[in-house]
Amino acid sequence: MRVGGGELRGRRLDVPPGIRPSEGKVKEALFSIWTDRLEGATFLDLFAGSGAVGLEAVSRGALSATFIEAHRGAATILKRNMKHLPDASWNLRIESVELALPALAAAGARFDLIFLDPPYSRALDEELMTACAVVLADSGRIAAEHDARAKPGREVAAMIRIETRRYGESALSFYGKS
């Protein structure tokens, strides 16, 4: 796997075993859609795995990326992938999303862009989306990658689905505050 655009374009990234990384066409589509929002944005990468999406965001102009990954083995590889970024541009939290999001909210963190790629067996449930809404900036956006056969809700928590786009077996659903 490689970074597809920006300053780090072409850099090789390691992928932890057992992790399903976002396909190249899905990443390209995401960053094509978010091109105008990336410059200077704060980015949150949930269920980060290798960190490829957050790395790509910083490579393409995001100010910073925060990575949440609960699996210690994956987090070790993610740290290795981060060596390409300036220290001030990233933060890694090795804990579950359920613990990390309330802690970020309590610290007053707000993100312009949130990408979440939970295991396909996990739905975009009310609890997860509510926690994301709390740390999302008022004009921010969430992109959730999921199985293309899944039917995410139009309104979830305080979020409204703006659109869903399919890319083979995967889909991206975009949400904003209602």
Instruction: pLDDT band for 8, please (50, 70, 90 cuts).
Output: low
Give the CATH number, domain containing residue 103.
Answer: 3.40.50.150
What's the total number of domains in the chain?
Answer: 1
- Residues spanned by the domain of 154: 24-177
Is 127 among the domain residues? yes
Q: What is the pLDDT of residue 45?
A: 97
Q: What confidence tens digit (pLDDT) does each residue in 13-47 have?
A: 767 666 665 666 888 899 999 999 999 999 999 99
Is 57 among the domain residues? yes
* Averaged confidence pLDDT in the chain: 87
Instruction: pLDDT band for 78, please (50, 70, 90 cuts).
Output: confident
**Span 50-60, average pLDDT:** 89
Is 61 among the domain residues? yes
Is 9 among the domain residues? no
Q: What is the pLDDT of residue 9?
A: 62
Q: What is the pLDDT of residue 16?
A: 65
Q: Is 22 left (phi over 0), alpha (psi -120 to 50) or beta?
A: beta
Residue 169's Cα: distance from chain center in Å?
Answer: 18
Q: In this structure, are residues 40 and 49 in contact, taking their beta carbons and an 8 Å threshold? A: no
**Span 53-62, average pLDDT:** 91
Is 142 among the domain residues? yes
Is 149 among the domain residues? yes
